[in-house]
Structure 1
Amino acid sequence: MVGRVTALVALAMLAQFPVTAQSVRSIVVPGGDMATLAPPTVPADYIRREAMIPMRDGVKLYTVMMIPRGAANAPIVLTRTPYDATARAMRSQSRKLINASQRSEEQFVRAGYIRVWQDVRGKYKSEGEYVMMRPPVGPLNDSGVDNATDAYDTIAWLADKAKLPESNGRVGMVGSSYEGHTVAMALLRPHPALKVAAAESPMIDQWRDDWFHNGAFHNIYLDYFAMQTGAKGALPRPPHHGYDDYDNFLRAGSTHDWAVKHGLDQMPVYKRLEEHPAYDELWRGQALDRLLAANPSDVPTIWEAGLWDQEEIHGAVLAWEALKAAGKVGNNHLVLGPWRHSQVNREGRRTGAFAWNGDTVRQYWDEMVMPLFRERLEDGPKANLPSAILYNTAEDRWERFARWPLACERDCPAPLTPLNLAGEGGLSFAPGARGEDSYVSDPAKPVPFMPRPYDMDEFAEPWTTWRLSDQRHVDKRPDVMTYETEPLTAPVRVSGVPIAELFARTTGTDGDFVVKLIDVLPPENANDPPMGGYQLPISIEILRGRYRDDPSRPSAIPANVVQRYRFRMPVVNHVFRPGHRIMVQIHSSLFPLYDRNPQTFVPNIFRAKKQDYRAATITLERGGSEGSRVWLPVLPPGEPPRAGKR
């Protein structure tokens, strides 16, 4: 009651002094509320320096240098990015470099390195014209400049003590995804000051591993094209006008129809894709694994990727293989972790539903990257990295291989082992009786690539971890053929590149083939019941049937005639344990991650019409010499599984 009386008294007093326009004006301070803030009294422990570094054609590229205060003879680590050097260099305005830098920079900060970020040509604050994945100088690029020349000119500037007196003139490069591509490009014609590199999830072959996968178009990149090429900075993701992208893409029709609906058909990068659906000279001419093999460098390089990388799962392996074949064995190291795309820039304690033995990303930086960078940039002790370091995704540990793979098609201690489709949905390492299994693939009801509903947001789960999602969401569909072993009585250790080999006929004249290699966990798990029976994909790949004989020359599939479909799958390093089952799933769509095949041969699937999409019956052959199988890199009994472990 007292409080109420007090409030009433206060109101009465205010009533005696009504607010007028004059009294309001009397409290306005001339000049408004803007004030000049005094600089912080606590100095930062770093110096942030900017430069517009000139390239050989006169174009200047915006560069940010983060220099530890008091640095002297410090190594330089460079990243060239299309994702905004200003934002990449600093995540906050902290006065401490360890807190101002990105999470992945912690090791470089603690080592006292100078960290350099640069906007690639035409993006953000850099001058020039942006061309996504600008081809190397040559038949596809007569401009005289590319990401190799820009890297060379940038490193020449950075290594000049007059320009950066705090440095020791030695440069390392690091970057993931597109930034990994710029690392790989720098290795084509490396500047002498480039001493070491780490290309992480690099974009290497745009037809086999990026925009396409063996001819099937990666719809997820339509958003990326708009975001990256629609402005000098970055545009927001275009609206999809609905949460469930399965329905959104199905309603749109063909990929061309989707592009027109969203205005994406105006983008030069999309036009190039639509005009070049086959593996023609446009794609072969800029495949970096080929170019690196033709111009092998002596720069020690780590090629890294995630074993469940949803964007660039093959690139690092292809580059490493090409350089190994070119004789560059001692200075090229393959690292495959239990990660999704670019997880090396984040935490590595878990991926999707699976937890690992500690922070595997921290282990990567501490035990692989930094030892090699210290050796090359500081004259530190020998890193002694082996040829390959792969995470064992079943036994939850790193494995180091002096020679890898140990089982492959040729030049390996062991050959690949066929895992054959068998009757009644079985799998067998022994050839079985002849037989066949059929399913109907209907483009009007494509197989979803992950459980519906889903939003194919490139930067968010669940899409980012779809490659290790539980495959029970499609198991038992009538258009998904499922084959599995009995529960294993002994471990089956696989390490290498599986090869899918299908013998099949179709009533259509085109079609896609999806093969999944799956570890089926035991049905009961008392400690984590939902994981009982989990169908964990170890390797998934797709092939567009028109490219079965020649990726550069599509051809119609002869209806009702058995054809061979043979294609490479992503690397595995896994143990199928006793009590588990090995499963293989086969079907004809992964929608809408990849565009639908109309199953009628048309000149260009991008522009398929509604009437072209027709159901087809696919029949898989099994048994005998033309029986469908997956060739597995099984290590022989008693074979040492690794050359040493962490």
Structure 2
Amino acid sequence: MSRRTALAFATSVLAASYALTAPPSQAQSTRDATLVQTGSDIPAKWQRPDADYDYTRQEVMIPMRDGVKLHTVILIPKGAHNLPLLLERTPYDAGGFSKESVPHLRDAVWTANREWVDDGYILVYQDIRGKYGSKGDYVMTRPPVGPLNPSKTDDTTDAWDTVDWLVKNVKQGNGKVGMIGSSYDGWTVTMALLGPHPALKVAAPESPMIDGWMGDDWFHYGAFRQVNLDYFTGQTTKTGKGENVARTGADDYQAFLDAGSAGNWAERNGFKQLGFWNRLSSHPAYDAFWQGQALDKFVAAKPSSVPTMWLQGLWDQEDMYGAVVTWEALRAKGMSNNHLVMGPWAHSQVNGKAETLGPLKWKGDTAADFRRDVLIPFFNTYLKDRAPAEPLAPVMIYNASDNRWDKFADWPATKALTPLYLQADNGLAFQPAAAGEDSYVSDPAKPVPFLAPPMSFSERSRWVSWLLQDQRFVSTRTDVLSWQTPVLTSPVTVQGAPFADIFAKTSGTDGDFVVKIIDVYPATVAEQPEMGGYQLPVSMDIFRGRYRQSFEHPTPIPAGEVQEYKFRLPTMNYVFKPGHRIMVQIQSSLFPLYDRNPQSYVDNIFFAKPADYRKATVAIQRGTAGASAVLLPVVQTSTAIKSAAR
């Protein structure tokens, strides 16, 4: 390159560099204004393109009669016209019941709602007062308006106002609403039935929280369920989802044992800040606080004309009590528009997959089949004027031993109860026993576990199936007594709720009684070898001895005197087959699921002191001093009006 050429090249490079760095002209500034952002990058209102969506998602704040607005999510299929609405009211985040930014409604909703989408429903989810997106104050299972709730609103009025708004404002609807929900959401369905809106045409409370003291979440016959302490922080420490109580170890058996009483565990973890804990722990007995929110009594006092299906799991580890006793209360009132369904499910499993439960295997997905073939047709009868293929039986209860659904015209199948007596030498028979007793030492320092330690309440797989746990893991403990029949040569069919009728004396002044009815499998099972010798619980519960005379007014147990402890056990529809045995087990703790009884009488067990916890010798009576037995609703032949295997 010549010197002149090189100079010209350098000059052009400098000119170009100057052009890049020099201030732009006014014209250039106007032309490139989009390069500078002076406001927020977030638009005032984002409108998601939804051309490819087969539904619309609306989030609205529905006003209640007192002005409080409740966050509500409405999912409407595109092109919807004259469709019914399915409403669920929840404390568990209505926004999380469906995924956003998912183009197809069937993909957006939970498993249990896909069949509803397929059948053509508008789905509505609402946060109850004070939770997640809703305004107002949250009160755990807010009692009905009355002595325990001096306001003018409750979940009955809120459901009425919500249904009223929906039928007036969702133009794609047909003016008919059904309600559904499990557990706490089952509570909200039941509350809606206490004063239903005329547009509420059908309802299904699934494992509803009905009576938290007698047999649902908080207590069972006065024994406190410590698993719920984490639930209290999850529900009442935040408007949204709170956290479980922090643990310093991985074994809840040891953690709760080290803490002493349930009250000590709770209050050292800050529970005095929580209103519901303070109310609950101040009312350990079945006083006006609990009686004033037992919904079976309210429902029976004011029966609804809304057709209702009461749903329950046979091995529901959380809400075993409410649905069946409420159905029974309504049946006693002559209400024929109520149906009872009990499936082979754990808590809320009706809304998921149910091909198995613990070690038991069913013929297909019992939950999906039920939703498709029974539940949705039941709703369609009243929301779409579409008659089902066959009338729904008053009662449907799964027969786990025969692996089929049984249908009944009435329930229980028999009113008679047949005593199965405890015998000498750990025997069990339908004949009265000779006089005698069997004893054990119950030591609060070494309580009987409900699951083999180490265990954690957060282990969901163990929690959902604990009621089916093979009881051989405790059967050799010296503080667990077992009685069993000889090997059965003919089937024993039990249809109804058994009762424990235990006569016992104790060296203490208080004590708990856990009674289990167990199906003992043969030593070998060719079809499922792991079931050989399995001790399968089919009905069990716990009873706090101080309430043997009155649930409302506890009294000390007179030490050394025989007392009767009689209480209802969970409902059964079960066949003990030839080659099996029937077993009864009795013990005095089921820890750490239930708090320990100190076995010396104190006014409030929540706040028992370390010195209150004492060993006690418990003697179970046989024969003339007290004919201890389990009372079974045995039927000679099944009273099922129709049976079906799926």
What's the TM-score once normalised by structure 1's chain length?
Answer: 0.92
Equivalent residue for 1:431? 432
Q: Whole-Å Cα distance in 2 between the matches of residues 39 and 282 of structure 1?
A: 49
**What amino acid maps onto 1:184 in structure 2?**
T
Equivalent pairs: percent with the same residue? 53
Give per-residue Cα distances to partners, 1:604-634, cap 9 Å, x unaligned: 0000000000000000001237210000011
2:465 maps to 1:471 = no
Give 1:62's aligned residue. 71
Larger Rg: 2
Q: Once the 2 structures are TM-superposed, how far is the Cα of residue 233 of structure 1 from its aligned partner?
A: 0.3
In the aligned structure 2, how far is the partner of 1:337 from the partner of 1:639?
18
Cα RMSD, aligned residues only: 1.7
Q: CA deviation at 1:40?
A: 5.0
| CA distance in 1: counterparts of 2:639 and 2:182, whole angstroms | 32
Name the structure 2 match of 1:145: 153
Q: Which residue of 1 aligns with 2:113?
A: 105
- State yes or no: 1:302 paired with 2:309: yes
Unmatched tracts of structure 2, length 5 or more:
1-34
The amino acid of 2:265's aligned partner reads W
1:364 to partner: Cα distance: 1.6
**Structure 2 residue 280 is the aligned partner of structure 1 residue 273:** yes
Alignment of 1:472-551 (within 5 A): 472-551=472-551
Q: 1:237 to 1:30 in 2, by over 3 A?
A: farther
Looking at structure 2, the residues matched to 523 and 454 of structure 1 have their Cα atoms a distance apart, in angstroms, of 28
Which structure 1 segments of 5+ residues have no match?
Answer: 1-28, 409-414
Alignment of 1:219-618 (within 5 A): 219-328=226-335, 330-382=336-388, 384-408=391-415, 415-457=416-458, 460-618=460-618
TM-score (norm: length of structure 2): 0.92
CA displacement, residues 5-37 of structure 1 (integer Å, 9 cap, x when unaligned)? xxxxxxxxxxxxxxxxxxxxxxxx9879x8999
Asked if structure 2 preserves the Cα contact closer than 8 Å seen for 1:635 and 1:641, the reply is no
Equivalent-residue separation in structure 2 for 1:453 and 1:339 (angstroms): 25
Q: Shift of residue 529 of structure 1?
A: 2.5
SS of equivalent residue, structure 2 residue 465: helix
Residue 326 of structure 1 deviates from its aligned partner by 1.1
Amino acid at match of 2:444: P
Report the CA distance between 1:41 and its aligned residue.
6.9
SS of 1:271's equivalent in the other structure is: helix
In 2, distance between residues paired with 1:107 and 1:199? 18
Aligned partner of 2:3 in structure 1 is none
Inter-partner Cα distance in structure 1 for 2:640 and 2:538: 18
- For residues 146-179 of structure 1, the C-alpha deviation after alignment (integer angstroms, 9 at most, x for no partner) is 000000110111111xx11100000000000000
- Structure 1 residue aligned with 2:132, among 119, 124, 130? 124
Which stretch of structure 1 is more off in the superposition, 261-270 or 387-396?
261-270
- SS in structure 2 at match of 1:159: helix
**Any idea what SS the aligned residue of 1:582 has?**
strand
Q: CA deviation at 1:530?
A: 2.2
Q: What is the aligned length? A: 606
**What code does the residue aligned with 1:279 have?**
Y
Distance 1:165 1:583 in 2: 59
- Measured after TM superposition, the shift of residue 240 of structure 1 is 2.1
Matched, 1:86 2:87: no
Secondary structure of the residue aligned to 2:120 is: coil
Q: Which amino acid letter does the alignment assign opposite residue 177 of structure 2?
A: V
SS state of the match for residue 513, structure 1? Answer: strand
Distance in structure 2 (CA, Å) of the matches to 1:559 and 1:151 = 51
List per-residue Cα deviations over 1:283-313 (Å, max 9, x = no partner). 1111000000000001011100110000000
- Contact 1:172/1:377 (<8 A) preserved: yes
Q: Which amino acid aligns with 1:125?
A: G
Alpha-carbon offset, residue 531 of structure 1: 1.4
**DSSP 3-state at the match of 2:75:** strand
Contact 1:352 1:468 in 2 (8 A): yes
| Partner amino acid, structure 1, of 2:546 | R
Assess if the C-alpha contact under 8 Å between 2:510 and 2:598 holds in 1: yes
Read off the aligned partner of 2:94 and give its amino acid letter: A
Write out per-residue CA displacement over residues 187-220 of structure 1, whole angstroms, 9 at most, x where no aligned residue: 0000100000010000000101221100000101
Q: Which moves more between the two structures, 231-240 or 287-296?
A: 231-240
- 2:173 is equivalent to residue 164 of structure 1: no
- The question of whether the paired residues in 1 share the 8 Å contact of 2:413 and 2:639 is answered with no
Confirm or deny: 8 A CA contact 2:84 2:174 kept in the other structure.
yes
Judge conservation of contact 1:514–1:543 (CA < 8 Å) in 2: yes
- Partner of residue 192, structure 2: 186
Superposition map of 1:14-33 within 5 A: none
Is 1:77 the counterpart of 2:86? The answer is yes
Deviation of 1:589 after TM superposition, in Å, equals 0.3
Evaluate the alpha carbon distance shift between residue 30 and residue 299 of structure 1 in structure 2; reply closer, same or farther with a 3 A threshold: same
CA distance in 2, matches of 1:265, 1:565: 34
Task: Flag the 1:41–1:449 CA change in 2: closer, same or farther, 3 A.
Answer: closer
Contact 2:407/2:640 (8 A) holds in 1: no
| TM-fit CA distance, 1:640 | 3.5
In the alignment, what sits opposite 1:9? none
In 1, the alpha carbon distance for the partners of 2:340 and 2:196 equals: 20
